[in-house]
Structure 1
Amino acid sequence: MSVPLYQAKAELFRTLGHPVRIRVLELLQDGPLPVRDLLSAIDVEASSLSQQLAVLRRAGIVSATREGATVVYALSTPDVARLMAATRWILAELLAGQGELLAELRAEA
Structure 2
Amino acid sequence: MGVAGMRILRWMCGHTRPDKIRNECIRDKTGVTPIAEKMREAQLKWFGHVQKRPLEALVRRCESLVSRHVKRGRGRPIKTWNETIRKDMMYVDINEIMTKDRGQ
TM range (shorter): 0.3 to 0.5
* Greater strand content: 1
Which structure would you say has the larger RCO, counting Cα contacts within 8 Å and 6 or more residues apart? Answer: 2
Report the TM-score, using the length of structure 2 for normalisation.
0.32
Report the TM-score, using the length of structure 1 for normalisation.
0.31
Bigger Rg, which one: 2
